[in-house]
């Protein structure tokens, strides 16, 4: 329900920027739309693109068999129609005739869009050398797992063209969300002849990029990526993805001064603008499991149990709400609402002092020396950490130093694993529950090395149905939280401040999805 609501508001009101930003400037022309990003799109290869700005560019630059509307329902895009076999294992698509790719500036090309282009796109996706992030979503395709393992050629997977306009997918098991997944960038066509002609630079320059969507590539420089299309009737005719210049104006002023159509705001300042709240970030206690003391599950559980006693903490409740799990509300696995299906993952750990006494059988006093809690200065959570530290002292006779550092230094320390305990944000950047949980693997956050966790993750990646994958991911989350490598504390509330004049946008903050296909601007 929540995800549909977000899309509904986006269609009625306006567009929002997913990435951290401070300002944007509207482009020239009544129907120009500007989106500020922290990084200019760098890779327009749809089978590979994974950074949010790259995904947004590819969504508008390329067409797929289907495109999701504002309610998340698939609509015909480059296909005329499709049919599904009674057993749910065969999908047949009939492409529109006469479609061709466009080059830079909308120039026509001799490259026709055919069923073979989709076949080649999926062969690239399942080539081990491509390392496509989209392969996991299409694991139900016949032969997909064997192709990724290098046991068969990607040419042998269940994706075939019976003629230039007819495409057939053969699945090894039913996938109720297969049609929806075909709107992902990885499922967009790739002309083999053109791809080979680029000599390994496909989608990396203007000259090595072809458009199959409603927009074409107009210009691509160090200052931004610019897409255009030839339309009428009030439709947005240009999309500008440009670098954030670091404006100091407030979010509201950016809109009122007509520098932005909409803006992401993390403040709690009063506003007369329309707004929509959501959360994609969970602030957590992270324990570095490579530390001698914190490698003890019992010690982490003792600290987590005591920390829970400090809740609720003194925080700005407009910005921070108590977390109901590691994975934010609103994320889906296919069409399955993850949080609703997975339920409450917060474990019941038992008495903190008893857990601590059990931990001290293997954890020495010297192991506990030098532990500090790393906190980013700008987060406004230092008082919360102090309250937790007080409970640790009262219940466990432990008191750790608190180290506040600027955000830049904080991120560098986290990337280097240079911390023992930290209160840190875990943000969903691509709408994938799997990606969030994968970030806690051996080489990731907390350096969590657990064979059961890795097995569950691998099984979830191979699961064909959304319900099966959702259940396995839920087991992953519960296992991670029971081991207390990470302790969810707060869901950070964000809001979109929205101006009048933009309608018909398809927006999903967890995708990221920013699709201007049907967008009009007054």
pLDDT, tens digit, 9 for 90 and up, residues 226-263: 999 998 888 999 998 987 676 677 878 877 877 767 77
Residue 23 has pLDDT above 80, yes or no: no
Helices (H) and strands (E) in the chain, counts: 15, 25
- Average pLDDT on 36-48 reads 92
Higher pLDDT, 427 or 197: 197
Phi, psi of 205 (to 5 degrees): -140, 165
Residues 189, 461, 506, 255, Cα dihedral to 10°: -120
pLDDT value of position 250: 83
Q: What's the burial of 163, exposed, middle or buried (CB within 10 Å: 0-12/13-18/19+)?
A: exposed
Residue 106 pLDDT > 60: yes
In this structure, what is the dihedral angle of CA atoms 424, 428, 432, 434, given to the nearest 10 degrees? 0
Average the pLDDT over 159-172 and give the result: 98
Q: For residue 139, which phi and psi values (nearest 5 degrees)?
A: -65, -15
For 450, list phi and psi in degrees, rounded to 5.
Answer: -145, 120
Instruction: Report pLDDT digits (tens) over 305-337.
Output: 999 887 766 677 778 888 989 998 888 887 788
Looking at 361-432, list the stretches that DSSP marks H as alpha helix, in order from N- to C-terminal side: 382-396, 407-416
For 72, counting Cβ atoms within 10 Å of its Cβ (0-12 exposed, 13-18 middle, 19+ buried), the class is: middle
Which CATH number does the domain 65-203 belong to among 3.30.470.30, 3.90.76.10, 3.40.50.1370, 3.20.20.70?
Answer: 3.90.76.10
- Residue 199 is predicted with a pLDDT of 95
DSSP 3-state assignment of 419? coil
Contacts of 509 (CB under 8 A, 6+ apart): 6, 16, 18, 278, 280, 330
Better-predicted residue by pLDDT, 295 or 334: 295
Task: Examine residue 495 and say whether the peptide bond preceding it is cis (omega within 30 degrees of 0).
Answer: no
Q: In the prediction, which pLDDT does 247 show?
A: 66
Residues 96, 79 contacting (CB under 8 angstroms): yes
Q: What's the confidence (pLDDT) of residue 504?
A: 85
Query: Average pLDDT in the 453-459 region?
Result: 93
In terms of CATH, what superfamily is 279-495? Dipeptide-binding Protein; Domain 3 (3.10.105.10)
Does pLDDT of 505 surpass 90? no
Q: How far is CA 295 from the centre of its chain?
A: 30
The torsion of the CA quartet 122, 123, 125, 127, rounded to 10 degrees, works out to 170
Instruction: For the chain, give every domain's residue range.
Output: 1-40+222-273+499-522, 65-203, 279-495
Most confident of 7-21, 185-199, 426-440: 185-199
- Alpha-carbon distance of 410 to 405, in angstroms, equals 6
Over residues 33-38, the mean pLDDT reads: 80
The two beta strands, 486-498 and 74-76, are: unpaired
Q: What gap in Å lies between CA 178 and CA 40, rounded to an integer?
A: 31
Has residue 343 got a pLDDT over 70?
yes
The percentage of the chain sitting over the pLDDT mark of 90, rounded to a whole number, equals 63
> What pLDDT is stored for residue 246 in this prediction?
65
């Amino acid at each position: 329900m929540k995800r549909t609501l977000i899309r509904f508001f986006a269609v009625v009101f306006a567009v929002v920027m997913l990435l951290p930003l401070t300002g944007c400037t509207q482009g020239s022309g009544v129907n120009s739309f500007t989106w500020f990003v922290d990084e200019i799109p760098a890779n327009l290869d749809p089978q590979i693109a994974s950074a949010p700005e790259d995904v947004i560019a590819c969504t508008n630059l390329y067409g797929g068999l289907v495109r999701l509307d504002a309610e998340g329902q698939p609509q015909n895009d480059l296909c005329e129609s499709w049919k599904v076999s009674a057993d749910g294992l065969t999908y047949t698509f009939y492409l529109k005739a006469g479609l061709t790719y466009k080059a830079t500036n909308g120039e026509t090309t001799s490259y026709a869009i055919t069923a073979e282009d989709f076949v080649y796109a999926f062969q690239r996706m399942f080539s081990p050398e491509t390392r496509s992030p989209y392969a996991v979503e299409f694991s139900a395709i016949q032969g997909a797992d064997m192709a990724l393992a290098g046991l068969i050629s990607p040419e042998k997977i269940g994706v075939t063209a019976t003629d230039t306009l007819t495409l057939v997918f053969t699945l090894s098991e039913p996938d109720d969300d297969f049609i929806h997944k075909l709107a992902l960038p990885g499922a967009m066509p790739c002309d083999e002849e053109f791809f080979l002609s680029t000599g390994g630079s496909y989608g990396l320059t203007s000259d090595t990029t072809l458009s199959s969507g409603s927009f074409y590539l107009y210009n691509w420089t160090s200052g931004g990526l610019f897409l255009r299309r030839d339309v009428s009737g009030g439709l947005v005719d240009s999309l500008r993805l440009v670098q954030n210049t670091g404006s100091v104006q407030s979010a509201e002023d950016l809109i009122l001064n007509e520098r932005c159509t909409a803006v992401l705001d993390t403040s709690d300042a009063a506003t007369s603008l329309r707004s929509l709240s959501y959360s994609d970030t969970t602030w957590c206690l992270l324990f570095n499991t490579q530390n001698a003391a914190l490698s003890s599950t019992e010690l982490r559980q003792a600290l987590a149990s005591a920390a829970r006693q400090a809740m609720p903490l003194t925080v700005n409740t407009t910005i921070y709400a108590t977390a109901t799990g590691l994975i934010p509300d609103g994320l889906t696995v296919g069409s399955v609402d993850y949080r609703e299906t997975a339920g409450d993952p917060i474990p019941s750990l038992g008495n903190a002092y008893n857990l601590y006494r059990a931990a001290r059988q293997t954890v020495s006093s010297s192991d506990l020396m030098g532990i500090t809690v790393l906190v980013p200065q700008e987060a406004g959570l230092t008082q919360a950490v102090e309250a937790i530290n007080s409970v640790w002292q009262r219940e466990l006779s432990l008191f750790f130093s608190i180290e506040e550092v600027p955000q830049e230094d904080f991120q560098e320390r986290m990337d280097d694993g240079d911390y023992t305990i930290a209160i840190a944000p875990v943000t969903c950047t691509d709408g994938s529950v799997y990606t969030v949980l994968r970030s806690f693997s051996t080489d990731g956050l907390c350096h969590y090395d657990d064979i059961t966790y890795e097995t569950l993750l691998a099984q979830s990646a191979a699961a064909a149905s959304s319900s099966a994958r959702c259940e396995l991911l839920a087991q992953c989350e519960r296992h991670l939280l029971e081991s207390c490598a990470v302790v969810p504390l707060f869901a950070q509330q964000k809001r979109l401040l929205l101006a009048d004049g933009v309608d018909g946008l398809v927006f999903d903050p967890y995708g990221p999805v920013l699709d201007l296909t049907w967008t009009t601007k007054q």
